[in-house]
Amino acid sequence: KDKKMDSQTKAEPMRVLVTGGSGLVGKAIEHVVKQEGGCLEGEQWTFLSSKEANLVDLQQTIAVFEKYRPTHVIHLAAKVGGLYLHMKENLHFLRDNLRINDNVLQTSHERGVTKVVSCLSSCIFPDKTTYPIDESMIHNGPPHNSNFGYSHAKRMIDIQNRGYFAQHGRRYTAVIPTNVYGPYDNFNFENGHVLSALMHKTYAAKKEGAPLQVWGSGTPRRQFIYSLDVARLFLWVLREYDEIDPIILSVGEEEELPIKDAVEMIADALDFKGQIFDTSKSDGQMKKTASNAKLRRYLPDFTFTPLSEGIKKTCDWFVNNYDIART
């Protein structure tokens, strides 16, 4: 059989557009694609930042799709803020994220994009629930009230994915990572993710010879996942995962650990020898245990980076890149 004809009938190499490409997960995917052989021959990968296009604006979204002509999209872009800002401006986060998501999904559909993998957040889970939470429970009751706008907008991605499949046969899906941490995170004290904010606090306390003040009691438990693990799983979802229903990307339930254990790992990684004490700030939810049983059915042998190792790598990155880190 003619070899040349054979190769022409094969699908063309993917052109992948990654929205939110300059964020925590976007940078991790870029690393896996460029440094770990995640890019197959002939593929084009574009990492988009908000500087290049404001996806709240439909015309700018369409222009970017016309420029890069993606066959596949990884949709990470979102309007996010710290807890306090979300509480103050829930409507703003609702409307901006509804727009971003509709612009990206509808433009993908109109331009014939084969597959979209969007990123949901574990904050979308119902507030009052039984544990562990799995993929079938996402819409079973309202999310936590503090950032209801953002959470409902994120939930709508799942609803819209079902619609594109039901009406147009589109294979658009979503992943739900638990607490992601790693290089290029937001390390800001007020609105960074919990581990990254704690790394920055510990770094500052060490520099100033001051005690480390940890907000809350340190007893709430969380499942932490290293950004590069999330990135490797994203590539698997893009290439192999065929369901419309979302999939939780997380370490196992047994890996959920108190924040104070993570604080000790951070103190170790940064060689902080000072006092650590809790303050009277509120704790937030005590646990949000998610099940990774579905992921394990597909990938029984995937190895997650141990938390202490991921924390050490992230702390080293933060110290070495303090000048470019988001602080």
Q: Is 202 helix (H, G, I), strand (E, B) or coil?
A: helix
Q: What pLDDT was estimated at residue 165?
A: 98
Q: Are 86 and 149 in contact (CB under 8 A)?
A: yes
Question: Which residues of the chain fall below pLDDT 70?
Answer: 1-10, 83
Domain ranges of the chain: 14-184+222-255+289-305
- The region, left, alpha or beta by phi > 0 then psi within -120 to 50, assigned to residue 82 is beta
Q: What pLDDT was estimated at residue 10?
A: 56
Sign (positive or negative) of CA dihedral 245, 73, 115, 293: negative
Q: Are 196 and 314 in contact (CB under 8 A)?
A: yes
Residue of 84, 131, 150, 203 marked active site: 150
Global pTM value: 0.93
CATH (one of 3.40.50.720, 1.20.1250.20, 3.40.50.300, 3.20.20.70) for 14-184+222-255+289-305: 3.40.50.720
Residues listed for the chain? 327
Q: What pLDDT was estimated at residue 87?
A: 76
Check if 150 is active-site: yes
Spatial neighbors of 297 by CB under 8 A, at least 6 apart, are none
Distance CA 188, CA 265 (A): 19
Q: Are 249 and 28 in contact (CB under 8 A)?
A: no
